[in-house]
Structure 1
């Protein structure tokens, strides 16, 4: 096995830490996962464009404190190269209220290897249109695989 194979597995730890911090509404933990650069960006599922660490912190604080969710990855595609990992994921964003219907969201995470750790450089989330969500859900129910 190549020596760097374990490095890419560690990027998944950063993604899991992101999901955990969102579920716990822990802004400090969330922000600790981002690369320490002002070029970072986050396009939110609601359409908001957040650029820079302070804007991302403010936007995430407003969003997840007002509407806490847990995020469940349903289909994950990983593209990696030396120093960069890109995740393309279909996620269910589940509200705290168990009776509420989760939103299905397409999310892309761009992570870079910085000082021995994987950090988030960019997130782009888009709410899945209702017709696509219905097709995706039907395929999952029938065991056909999410995106096949």
Structure 2
């Protein structure tokens, strides 16, 4: 195996830690996963644009404080090169209320390798069009998963 294969596995660990911190509404942990640069950005599924670490912190706190969610990845595509990993993921954002309908979202995570760790540089989330969301929801109901 190439020497850098383990490095890319660590990017998946960062993504899993992101999902865990979102579920726990752990803003400090979430913010620790961003690169230490003011050019970072996060485009939320509701269309709001957050630029810079302070705006992202404030936006995440407001968003997760108002409606905590857990994120279930349904279909994951990974594009990697030395120093950068891009995840394109179809996700179900499940509200804390177990009877509430999950919001279906396409999210792109751009991570860079900084100081020996994978960190977020940009996140872009968009609500799925109704047709695509219906297809993923049907697969979830039938327990097929996204790739069957």
Return the TM-score normalized by structure 2: 0.94
Q: CA RMSD for the aligned pairs?
A: 1.5
**Following the alignment from structure 2 to structure 1, what is the Cα–Cα distance between the partners of residues 35 and 71?**
21
Secondary structure of the 2:33 match is coil
- Counterpart of 1:16 in structure 2 is 16
Residue 137 (structure 2) pairs with residue 137 (structure 1): yes
* Displacement after TM superposition at 1:135 (Å): 2.2
**Following the alignment from structure 1 to structure 2, what is the Cα–Cα distance between the partners of residues 137 and 66?**
24
Structure 2: tracts of 5 or more residues without a match: none
* Displacement after TM superposition at 1:94 (Å): 0.2
Secondary structure of the 2:65 match is helix
- Counterpart of 1:69 in structure 2 is 69
Question: Map of 1:96-135 to 2, 5 A cutoff?
Answer: 96-135=96-135
Structure 1: tracts of 5 or more residues without a match: none
* Displacement after TM superposition at 1:136 (Å): 2.8
Q: Give the count of matched residue pairs.
A: 147
Q: Which runs of 4+ in 1 moved over 6 A?
A: none
Return the TM-score normalized by structure 1: 0.94
- Counterpart of 2:43 in structure 1 is 43
* Displacement after TM superposition at 1:138 (Å): 3.3
